[in-house]
Amino acid sequence: MTDPIVEVGPVAHGGHCVARLDGQVVFVRHALPGETVQIRITERSKRFLRADAVRVIEASPDRVERPCPFSGPGRCGGCDFQHVSGEGQLTLLTDVVREQLQRLAKIDWDGRVEAVGPLLDWRTRVVWSVAENGMAGLRRHRSHDVLPIESCPIAHPLLPDVAQQTWDEPRVETIASSTGQRLLVTDATIGDRLEAEVDGVVASDGTVRAGTGTLVERVHGRDFRVSGSGFWQVHPAAATTLVDAVLAGADVRPGDRVLDLYAGAGLFSAFLAEACAPGELVSVEGNRKASADAHTNLADLANASTVHTPVERALARGALGASADVVVLDPPRTGAKQAVGAIAALEPRRIVYVACDPAALARDVATFASLGYRLASLRGFALFPMTHHVECVAVLAPA
């Protein structure tokens, strides 16, 4: 059967564009809105098809040559937009955020996602999968098949090289910190059994080869301890960019009571505590290692305290008090659906919501609206260049 030709429609959340084939929706990767492409069907379901654009007949002005030789149909699934110019990527991300807000929250957003360069050499944390032959690589899109990769163009140049040797672990994580430290995590249970201190061997290039490790990240001159595979933003400029956006949106005043929910290692907590002093900052995190890191990172701030409990549980039990002046939340990709009602009940004058998924954000913003909070502002940041991921900072205020 000949691969069909389709006219490509708008971008959709998830790194693909929407087309139609004989009346059926097709989610097409490696295409751009307005293009005419030949597609190869990769998956079929009763509701829609998935496909790759294998030949471009009429190209978008935003189409460029892929800088990565491992990108393209049937190849590495790590990047969605290697074929898109920098400005074109911002347009796609903006369209996705705008569509999600309009469709799910009935909000017309007239902003534009902001660039945070560079497009390449930015990813400071990469988890490599290991093929049956022991070679490290990255998985093909929607597949467990590992594509061996000699080098990744979006990976930070300081990352330890894993391509020149074989591995007997299913995964290998490489990390480069903002202070120049390098960590190679070879524990098969990455993120599950990491201890708080380095117990491995330090190689001649400064790389710690171990199943455990602690790194130091630096933001605005302040150091943060992060245990091994613990969560930290992967773009070198992300932490500073988000801290600045959160502080601007929170408008914290001296004497305020501030809650930092899903606080991780305490990145926002530290700067919020400084801003609200002599007020109170409560940093809430459910992950044990991250909460321990936050406790260490906030130890010099007398007005800051840490709570190691899942956010939803802490709110439901009333463990965070009956009121707050400012609430900052940075939930996982699934959002904060179970926490929204309890946050609104605290009656803060500002809610700052940091989101890595625009659909979950739009859903939760709609719920906040039903509880008396309007979207006062929203900024989007392209903190994951070449991919469909976008970080948003939304500020909500009483309606």
Binding region:
233, 262, 285, 330
pLDDT at 187: 54
For residues 187 and 214, state if they share a domain. Answer: yes
Kindly report the pTM of this predicted structure.
0.93
Query: CA separation (Å) from 116 to 15, 61, 359?
Result: 19, 22, 21
User: Which residue is it, tokens 């701030």?
Assistant: 301
Helix (H, G, I), strand (E, B) or coil at 394: strand
For residues 355 and 292, state if they share a domain. Answer: yes
Report residue 193's pLDDT band, with 50, 70 and 90 as the boundaries: very low
pLDDT at 136 over 50: yes
Cα gap 207→37, rounded to integer Å: 45
Cα gap 96→98, rounded to integer Å: 5
Q: What is the largest CA-CA distance in the chain?
A: 71
For residues 243 and 204, state if they share a domain. Answer: no
Cα gap 28→11, rounded to integer Å: 9
302 in any annotated domain: yes
Binding region for S-adenosyl-L-methionine:
233, 262, 285, 330
Domains in the chain: how many in total? 3
Query: CA separation (Å) from 59 to 51, 69, 317?
Result: 17, 20, 56
pLDDT at 76 over 60: yes
Strand partners, 209: 184, 201
Query: CA separation (Å) from 260 to 7, 111, 210, 336?
Result: 46, 26, 32, 13
For residues 106 and 135, state if they share a domain. Answer: no
Average pLDDT (265-275) is: 98
For residues 109 and 131, state if they share a domain. Answer: no
Each residue of 58-67: pLDDT tens digit? 999 999 999 9
Cα gap 53→58, rounded to integer Å: 12
306 in any annotated domain: yes
For residues 323 and 253, state if they share a domain. Answer: yes
71 in any annotated domain: no
What's the domain range around 390? 97-117+235-398
CATH number at residue 377: 3.40.50.150
Cα gap 236→311, rounded to integer Å: 27
Each residue of 282-318: pLDDT tens digit? 999 999 999 999 999 999 999 999 999 999 999 999 9
Residues near 66 by beta carbon (within 8 Å), at least 6 away in sequence: 72, 82, 83
Helix (H, G, I), strand (E, B) or coil at 58: strand
Assess contact for 380 and 389: CB atoms under 8 A. no
For residues 218 and 240, state if they share a domain. Answer: no
Both tokens of 101, joined, read 């807000």
For residues 157 and 135, state if they share a domain. Answer: yes
Cα gap 247→260, rounded to integer Å: 12
**Quick one: how far is CA 369 from the chain centroid?**
25
Residues acting as catalytic residues:
356
Both tokens of 369, joined, read 């609206």
Report residue 186's pLDDT band, with 50, 70 and 90 as the boundaries: confident
370 in any annotated domain: yes
End position of a domain, from candidates 175, 202, 227: 227
Assess contact for 227 and 194: CB atoms under 8 A. yes
88 in any annotated domain: no
Angular region, 243: left φ>0, alpha ψ -120 to 50, beta rest: alpha
From 254, 267, 186, 182, select the one nearest 224 (Cα to Cα).
Answer: 267
End position of a domain, from candidates 183, 204, 227: 227
For residues 107 and 223, state if they share a domain. Answer: no
Average pLDDT (241-264) is: 98
CATH number at residue 46: 2.40.50.140
For residues 356 and 373, state if they share a domain. Answer: yes
End position of a domain, from candidates 164, 199, 227: 227
For residues 193 and 260, state if they share a domain. Answer: no
| Number of C-beta neighbours around residue 61 at 10 A | 10
| Radius of gyration from C-alpha coordinates of the chain | 22
Range name among 85-94, 155-164, 192-201, 331-340 with the lowest pLDDT average: 192-201
For residues 391 and 282, state if they share a domain. Answer: yes
Both tokens of 59, joined, read 């190209």
